[in-house]
Amino acid sequence: MKNFPERINIASYRCPFKANKDKFSELNTGGLVGGLSSLRKNHRINWFCFDSEEGVDEITNMTIHRISIDREKNKLYYGEFCNNYLWPIFHYLRKADIFRVEPWLSYRESNIKMVNKISNEIESRESILVNDYHLSLVPGELNEKGFEKISFFWHIPWVSPEYLQMFPWIKEIVSGISGAQKIGFHLPSYKNNFLETSKGMISQKYSYQTLERRVVAIPLGIDYSEYENVEIRKNKFDEELKRIKLKGIKIISSLSRLDYTKGILQKLEAFRHFLINNPKFNGKVVLVLVVSPSREEVNEYKWYKESIDKLVGNMNSMLRTPEWTPVIYIYRKITQSEVFSLYRNSDAFLVTPIMDGLNLVAEEYISSNRNGLLILSKFAGISHYIEATEKVNPFNLEEFSTAIRNILEISDEIKVDRASKMREFIRKYDINNWINGMILKES
């Protein structure tokens, strides 16, 4: 009879908690970390990750193995190879004119360092779940060391094999991933793209048929009850949102980190288009735009933030009245309590990236707000699974604007029905469904 492993071993680039002089601060941001960290309520977690300093930390039901990586090497590994090469390419973008070999060598060396740490700390008979594009070589290297229960999950889109032909090390990445006994993607289309890419690339150790049987499509979920039943700590942001609602003003919100794939400029343009073409809503709806700082040292991200700042400024100066400001723009990392306040007080949420592997914000919002409504991008992975919502092409201003109007004019009866159907999906495909589908059981 197969049993769930006594402890869950996880490897990711990012650590689940930030270390500081007091040992721990808040939970790190990111869908992966947020989703997997909730597992420690019911399981013992052994987590391997990179940090500026080496160390082992203990927190309730979790051991964190921090693997040191120096700043210069991390610039090449994470800053250059992961952020400038892999991230854009796997979102159908290209930010590099030439792919230099030095970042690749640093990426490979960092993956091997992770492998060595894992193999020194756990037995080869144990299960391990390796996560995302930062660690694509780890499964193959662990396989070479005799590990036989390796799971790997790729959390971003896997694009078409034709597009990936430009990338010099795609064969090595595919071969590394293929070392896992189970390989997961959020969507069937990502899974199929990976399998097509792998043809002719995988090691002679594997056949295409055996690889095909090891690849699954299963969406990452959240701990539904954690969001449904959360008690919000008193905070000024919550009070401000409630003041807006008491005036009879509807709140449409957005929450994302600063990144060009999140479609922030597109949603601002769509909201402006909506207000200009639907003047009856002026003074009756606001957009609360929360953007978490990210990669601010990168010129492209600096330019992107400046573009957001300028567009928000132009919109507010053109449309505001003495009693009403159309866009409430918050550029900082908000606390977990403030996130829940945003979810609970929002009449609708915009989850409209130009491309996204899945997007857990949509799941968190629906779980937190029993009457919440979504506008989803057709290019967010979650739109493949959630049906009872407005879906838009974020580049189509007219379609996006119409969806905003539809959301604001929807009847209470339809609103309740839609929200109920969306919650049903999130309950079914929660974090436990995902972990049960990805972790290889012990015999």
First vs last C-alpha separation in the chain = 6
Q: What's the CATH superfamily of 7-217?
A: Glycogen Phosphorylase B; (3.40.50.2000)
Contact between 121 and 145 under an 8 Å Cβ cutoff? The reply is no
Contact between 430 and 224 under an 8 Å Cβ cutoff? The reply is yes
Provide the residue ranges of all domains of the chain, joining segments of one domain with +.
7-217, 224-428
φ and ψ at residue 259, rounded to 5 degrees: -160, 140
DSSP 320-357: -BTTB-SEEEEESPPPHHHHHHHHHH-SEEEE--SSBS
Longest pairwise C-alpha distance within the chain? 70
Q: pLDDT tens, position by position, for the chain (443 residues)?
A: 345 667 899 999 999 887 654 444 455 555 566 666 667 777 889 999 999 999 999 988 899 999 999 999 999 999 999 999 999 999 999 887 899 999 999 999 999 999 999 999 999 999 999 999 999 999 999 999 999 999 999 999 999 999 999 999 999 999 999 999 999 999 999 999 999 999 978 765 666 678 899 999 999 999 898 888 888 888 999 999 999 999 999 999 999 999 999 999 999 999 999 999 999 999 999 999 999 999 888 888 999 999 999 999 999 999 999 999 999 999 999 998 999 999 999 999 999 999 999 999 999 999 999 999 999 999 999 999 998 799 999 999 999 999 999 999 999 899 999 999 999 999 999 998 999 999 876 55
φ and ψ at residue 266, rounded to 5 degrees: -65, -40
CATH number assigned to the domain with residue range 224-428, chosen from the 4 options 3.40.640.10, 1.20.120.550, 3.40.50.2000, 3.40.50.1220: 3.40.50.2000
Tell me what pLDDT residue 21 has.
43
pLDDT digits (tens, 9 = 90+) for 306-361: 999 999 999 999 999 999 999 999 999 999 899 999 999 999 999 999 999 999 99
Among the listed residues 29, 52, 13, the one whose alpha carbon sits nearest the alpha carbon of residue 133? 13
Contact between 90 and 261 under an 8 Å Cβ cutoff? The reply is no
Fold match between domain 7-217 and domain 224-428: yes
DSSP 153-179: EE-S----HHHHTT-TTHHHHHHHHTT
Q: How far is CA 15 from CA 56, 57, 157, 306, in A?
A: 11, 11, 22, 30
Q: How far is CA 264 from CA 6, 212, 269, 304, 306, in A?
A: 43, 37, 9, 9, 12
Q: What is the reported pTM? A: 0.93
